[in-house]
Each structure stands twice: as structure tokens, then as C-alpha cells.
Amino acid sequence: MSPRLERIRLRRVDMPLVRPFRTSFATQEVRDILLVEAITSDGISGWGECVAMSWPGYSYEYVDGCIDVLTEHLIPLVLPDGVLDPVEAHRRLSRVMGHPMAKTALETAILDACLRTQGVRLVDYLGAAYPGDLRDTVDCGVSVGIPPSESISELLDEVAEYVEAGYRRVKCKIEPGWDVEPIRAVRESWPDMLLQTDANQAFTLADAPVLAAMDPFDLLLVEQPLHEDDLMGHAALARKLTTPVCLDESITSVAVAETALHVEATSIINIKPGRVGSYLTAVRIHDLCRDRGIPVWCGGMLETGIGRAANVALAALPGFTLPGDTSASSRYYAVDVTPPFVLDDGRLHVPTGPGIGVEPIPEILHELSSWSALIER
Ligand code: NPQ
Ligand code: MG
């Protein structure tokens, strides 16, 4: 008899960050992570990571809300029937509106358990349409926060660290008042480096002149300058800039991606599986963009090795032509829950084991856990 989904464990983990990470919406010192473990009737565990923050600052989801929607609404759609098929799980979870990060965590845990049972790597499953065209390493970029001191020399010191570590692209967070001067300083220090910015929705269309003042810095892109709902504003802004606009928060589905491309609100897309509700949807957006010659790259949400492993597998698909925010474990964590992902010549290796290819180290997991719950069939 084929194995079934038997139990789900939810586990909350407190991960101290190596340095505070400040963006236009929050300063984080500890990453409050929710992990989903899907356990089969054969005793195999699959893993998924929920990328929500403890507070609804990046999107409306937050960890307490994810635990509630998982426990009360999502897990009951798959656990009673023991659903271990990722496509069937995806279909069932779609009955709940919204909550993409909670859905992705559960679906990925089921997908990982299923692939481990079959001995198939996640990269081969996601990239089944591109056999022979999958990378075994991915180019890595790094996301640099706003220094809490708002000192440009501290920013330059931090960027220098990452350049020395071998990162192939640097992205600097910007917000009104932390924009042209810091980016000018970074560009003057590293004239040839791949450089881009991310505003996390902090500007308005009236700030177009400030954003245009960064055009001479030869940036790869500016990420999500305006509010996530403002596709028309992004289209208007894109007409005023030579720097390409790249959407992150706005792109919540295949349909929104198509609309954003159609109205020319974006010419590059940041793909985050948690934001679009599924690795399967992430692949569909990749496919759509690849058909249209639109570059994509894999975003990051300060994942542990669990989420990072799955993102590196996704970023191995051929349409991911720009370096992603798939940094080494050490960018965020002194101790990761899995064996650390280490930069090799500015790249990370795609895991070679079945499923996501990595698993948590039990002692570290226990040490960092703040809460857990076991849900039985
Ligand atoms: C982005 N990520 O691209 C996000 C934003 C972000 C790597 O820049 C805790 C959890 C803090 C998730 C801060 C990067 C976070 C977070 C920023 C996500 O927009
Ligand atoms: Mg972003």
C-alpha cells in the first residue's frame, strides 16, 4: 500500500540574526520562524518553512495567524484523507482564500515527504519541463538593510564584507531619505558590481524625481517602489525611469503577473514561493516569464536552511537568469537549523538528496524551538 500523510507537526523556532535587518517596514533582530513537518505512515518526514514574520509588516500574514489558519482550516483539508500527493494537496488548499505563506509551508512539507518517498529531487520535480537544462549551482546575491545608524560608511563596510565573501550582486534597501546618497556611495566604491535597490513600497509616484536621480548609477532594477496595489502607478513610474522596475509584493498570482506584464508595470519579476502560495505557482510564473523573455530571480525571506534549500532548487530552473536573494546561511544566522549553506565562488550548490535534500539537525531544532504542536489524523 502506498504511504499516506499521517501526522503534522508545527514548530516555532527563534533564530537570532547576526545583525539587525532594517527595511522600510521593520527592524528585525530575531527571526520567528514556523516550520511544518509532514510525517508519512512510513515514518518519513517532509519539511516546509512558513516565511511570514511575527508581525504583518511585509504582507498581511503573521505567524500567529498562520498557525491559526493552518490548524483550523488548511490541515483539516488534507490530513483526514492522508493526502500525500502535492497536486491534490494544492487543489484542496485552494479552497481557502489568501494565506499564501501558510499554504506554501504545508504544501511544501507534503511535497517534500512525497518526493522523499519516491527518491526524487525537488529540482527535478519542479524542472520536469526542462530536463538537462537545470543548473547544479545558482548565482547568489545579498540583500543589505538600512544601517540602524543611517551611516553611509557603515553601509559601505557591510557591502565590502559581502563583496569579499564573493556575492555576485548586491541589493540595498532604500526608503525616502535613504536613497540617492547611499546608492551613489556604493556605486562609486564598486563601479562594476551588479547593484539594485528595494523600497518595499515606501515611495509614491510623486517621488519619481528621487528615483530617477538614481538612473545614472546603472542599477539592474528598482524593486517594488510603490504600494503593492498600484500597478498603474508602477507603469507610469516605469515610463519615467531608465532603471527597470521589478515587482515583488504586487505579484501574488499568475493572473496578477500577467496583468502587471501586460500594463508594463514591471519588466523583471522577483519570484517568492511563499508570496504566490506554492512552489507549483512559482514555476508557472517562471514559465510565463520565460515564454515572454522576462527575466526572473528568486527572492528571499530570511529563510533557514529548510526554506533556502527549496529556493535554491527553484532558482536552478533556466528562467532564473539574475542572481537571487538566496544568500549563504551565514548572511543571517550564526547557527542554522540545517547544515549551513556555504558560498562557493559566489554560488550555492543545489542539494543532491531527494526532496528538498536537507533536514534539520534535531539537537539544534530542539534548542531553538519556542513552541510545537502535533496534529494527528
Ligand atoms: C524583500 N527580503 O525582498 C524581503 C523583505 C523582508 C531579503 O530583502 C523578517 C522576515 C524580516 C522576512 C525583512 C529581503 C524581513 C523579511 C525583509 C522580509 O522585500
Ligand atoms: Mg523585496
Which residues form ligand 1's pocket by a CB distance below 6 Å? Answer: 21, 23, 28, 31, 53, 58, 143, 198, 200, 248, 299-302, 325
Shortest CA distance to 34 belongs to which of 60, 13, 17? Answer: 13
- The pTM (predicted TM-score) of the whole model is 0.98
Q: Find the domain containing 252 and state its range.
A: 124-349
pLDDT digits (tens, 9 = 90+) for 150-184: 999 999 999 999 999 999 999 999 999 999 999 99
How many angstroms does the Cα of residue 58 sit away from the middle of ligand 1?
A: 7
Residue pointed to by grid coordinates 530575531: 30
Q: Are residues 232 and 196 in the same domain?
A: yes
- Does position 98 have pLDDT exceeding 80, yes or no? yes
pLDDT digits (tens, 9 = 90+) for 29-58: 999 999 999 999 999 999 999 999 999 999
Within a domain: 354? no
- Does position 282 have pLDDT exceeding 80, yes or no? yes
Q: Are residues 190 and 82 in the same domain?
A: no
Within a domain: 207? yes
Distances (CA, A) of 27 to 61, 148, 155, 328, 368: 17, 8, 15, 20, 21
Domain count, the chain: 2
Within a domain: 356? no
Which pLDDT band, with edges at 50, 70 and 90, does 240 fall under?
A: very high
Catalytic residue chosen out of the listed positions 103, 171, 173, 240: 173
CA 107 remoteness from chain centre: 15
pLDDT at 1: 74
Q: Are residues 326 and 220 in the same domain?
A: yes
Q: What is the CATH number of the domain that holds 231?
A: 3.20.20.120
Which pLDDT band, with edges at 50, 70 and 90, does 232 fall under?
A: very high
pLDDT digits (tens, 9 = 90+) for 5-23: 999 999 999 999 999 999 9
pLDDT digits (tens, 9 = 90+) for 58-67: 999 999 999 9
Q: Are residues 187 and 172 in the same domain?
A: yes
272 included as an active-site residue:
yes
Q: Are residues 272 and 337 in the same domain?
A: yes
Q: Are residues 230 and 128 in the same domain?
A: yes
pLDDT digits (tens, 9 = 90+) for 201-230: 999 999 999 999 999 999 999 999 999 999
How many angstroms does the Cα of residue 331 sit away from the middle of ligand 1?
A: 13
Q: Are residues 213 and 341 in the same domain?
A: yes
Neighbours of 152 (CB within 10 A): 16
Q: Are residues 145 and 112 in the same domain?
A: no
Q: Are residues 106 and 128 in the same domain?
A: no
What does the alpha-carbon distance between residue 16 and residue 6 come to, in Å, rounded to a whole number? 32
pLDDT at 45: 98
Q: Provide the percentage of residues in the chain whose pLDDT is more than 70.
A: 100
Neighbours of 77 (CB within 10 A): 18
